[in-house]
Amino acid sequence: MLGKESKERIQSLYREAIKALELRPRYGQRVMIAEIAKALGAVREGEKGERDNDAGIAVVEAGTGTGKTLAYLIAALPVAMERDKKLLVSTATVALQEQILDKDLPALKKHLSLPFNFALAKGRGRYLCLSKLDKSLQQLSGILSTVDLFEQTPEEQDRELYENMLIKYGSGQWDGDRDRWEDEIEHKQWTHLTATHRECSNRRCPHFQNCAFYKARSAMEDADVIVANHDLVLSDLSLGGGAILPAPDKTIYVFDEGHHLADKALNHFRLEFGVRSTRQWLKQLEKLIEQFIADAGIPMGMMHSLQVMPANIQSLSQSASLVWPLVMDLMQDRDRQRFEFGLLPEGLRDLLHTMKAPLQPVTQCLDKLSDLLQKSLDPNETGDFTQEVAETWQAPMGIMLARAEELSEALSWIAAVEGEGELPVARWLSKRPYGDDWDITLSASPISVAAQLRQTLWSRCYGAVVTSATLTALNSFNSLKWEAGLPDWATYERVASPFNYSENGQLEVVRLNSDPKSEAFESDVQEWLKEAVDPEEGTLVLFSSRAQLEATRDYFIRDWYDHLLCQGFLPKGEIVRRHKKRIDEGKGNIIFGLASFAEGIDLPGEYVTHVVIVKIPFAVPDDPIQSAISEWMESRGRNPFMELTLPAASIRLIQACGRLIRKETDQGKVSILDKRLVSSRYGQLLLDSLPPFRRI
């Protein structure tokens, strides 16, 4: 139980924040604070300070306008500091992360009587590697030759950028964070400047004391609040927890935008490899080993493994060559081919198993070489190679080792067969662009991450808060529980939005002549938009199909040329900036957007007074993971449409409607052009879950 003193401390901090930030106290915000504090206060500690009971997880759906960021920070931070734990706030989008870092936390730090520090946590790939920057500049100056691998040589046109980076990092004007550089950095430019885990030589690097990544890691150690994203948290958990971020048993997590957690986890656990790209990698590996032996020689302890390496690489290449005609035959003229219940044809599965045998000694050899090169970088150790050889070859060998490990893991999972009673794994083939040609990729993904999240997160964390404006689907937490593996004993609470939806907003289900399955639907939508949308107002039109968006844009581009901005033709941020500018100038504007404009876009007041949703946002029917889940559910006598498809559409529909009322004074109208909401049996379920707008 939370002690009386702790409760009073939280209440006092809330009063301080409301007064200092000139906010209006909100009932829903107070309820959210109380629920989180109660859940965390119920945690009983074991001998080592870990959670020792079924408590400490609060799931709170907080309607738009609740002020959930302030609520979870005020409730969780005092508890975390009192119990010597880290508070880790994880978001799904960069926009929310920046808001918390640049606005919410600085404001609280300035005004609260609770002193605390905060830091940003990002993956290694977002930070400058001084060693690679130094090598790139040396290569451009001709001082250092490069290993011919993956076109690693930097280009002359980037010299000015790299020199500018060195100056600004050295003078403290830039902290090495890619996202805080003054201009956009192209992916190809950045690959020369950042190191993966396998490329990094850690404390053996001469730049270690001045490393941007490890400086950021050091700042985390002194922080009471760490801000990260879902992907980084999942990466850390997959490494056992505590590898990048604080250990789970020492952490209270807050998953803001928590409805994305399960989807992020599904993508995180997906494994894949391309047939052509793997064959190309094997050619590069063979060439690299030849170059390495010519340059560095063969250490005595690796004589046998390096001598048999070419034969193992050749064996792998031959097997990969045989995979190509098999997958070509399976694909035929399709872009994607999913295997029922995740079962690969026996011939393909056997061939993938064949590849695993020669890959194992290749991976072991690369691992040993990488280790010897790392040791040879250290002047305090007697290495097998000169320091010059180690500096040249450590990073390329690390890249090759990482690729070999990824391939090994992918082969094992793609070629596996699940046991009786186990959940199937989704497995499929897909055609992907590859250079000027195309490749066929073999992929595997779990259909549920509930077990992984239960094992690595919910059962190990000291405490957790999962929050979002949309956690329930069809007015129930059941879908979230199933997808994210949340325990039944967690506390579940819904906090209503303070907005007066029935007074400020209208909802109309437009009964067009056709429904979305009809060929006439596109033209019916265009005719309705022409009659019902005022180009002099702020309007957001949300499409489920890029093809329909582009066709509708083509229809209106002449008449609405000065009033129309479309996703896919300009960056998202630029669309928002131009839209606001036009509305501020009193000109009116219309945005045509897809799914990413239905969530996370904040256009209050006159910026959006009319939201048009073209159709119910059902998931793409050919998504291989969703199809595999549906197949498994049907095999168990369950209804995937009611349990999976409809709840997911409900959440997306609520999010889309949520673009209208962003502040208490906002007013406007939502129009949904899908008459299935009133003509189908499931339509009323979707309507009942929407904000209580006045129906017209």
Which residues are known binding-site members for [4Fe-4S] cluster? 129, 200, 205, 211
Q: Which two tokens stand for residue 617?
A: 């946002």
- Angle CA(379)–CA(382)–CA(388) in degrees, nearest 5? 55
Q: Which residues are annotated as a binding site?
A: 129, 200, 205, 211
Other C-beta atoms closer than 10 Å to the C-beta of 212 total 21
CA–CA distance, 286 with 86 (Å, rounded to integer):
46
Residue 458 contacts by C-beta under 8 Å, 6 or more apart in sequence? 57, 464, 485, 486, 487, 490
The rounded distance, in Å, linking the Cα atoms of 302 and 569 is 55
Q: Are 573 and 600 in contact (CB under 8 A)?
A: no
> What helix, strand, coil percent values describe the chain, rounded to 5?
50, 15, 35
Instruction: Classify each residue of 55-72 as buried b or exposed e, where b means 16 or more C-beta atoms within 10 Å of its C-beta.
Output: bbbbbbbbbbbbbbbbbb
Helix 4-20 to helix 27-41 angle (10° resolution) is 150
**Lookup: tokens for 221:** 């150690």
- As beta bridge partners, residue 509 has 672
Q: Which two tokens stand for residue 43?
A: 């945690």
Phi, psi of 152 (to 5 degrees): -75, -15
First to last CA, the chain: 49
Burial class (CB in 10 A: 0-12, 13-18, 19+), 28: buried
Give the pairing of strands 225-229 and 86-91.
parallel
**Could you give phi then psi for residue 176, rounded to 5 degrees?**
85, 0
- Tell me the torsion sign for CA atoms 3, 9, 12, 16: negative
Using DSSP's 3-state secondary structure scheme, residue 227 falls into strand
What DSSP string describes 588-643?
A: -EEEEE-GGGSSS----GGG-SEEEE-S--PPPTT-HHHHHHHHHHHHTT--HIII
Strand 118-120 and strand 225-229: pairing? parallel
Encoded tokens for 63: 């309607």
Other Cβ atoms less than 10 A from the Cβ of 508: the count is 16
Q: What is the DSSP letter of 659?
A: T
Q: What is the 3-state secondary structure (H, E, C) of 145-159?
A: CCCCCCCCCCCHHHH
Are the C-beta atoms of 496 and 60 separated by less than 8 Å? no
Which residues are within 8 A (CB) of 586 and not within 5 positions of it... i.e. 6 or more apart?
A: none
Helix (H) or strand (E) holding 6: helix 4-20
Which long-range contacts link 101-109 to residues 24+ away (Cβ below 8 Å)?
Answer: 101/227, 104/69, 104/70, 104/73, 105/73, 105/225, 105/227, 107/21, 108/17, 108/70, 108/73
Residue 386 is encoded by which pair of tokens? 């000169």
Q: What is the dihedral of CA 499, 501, 505, 510, to 10 degrees?
A: 140
Distance CA 650, CA 617 (A): 8
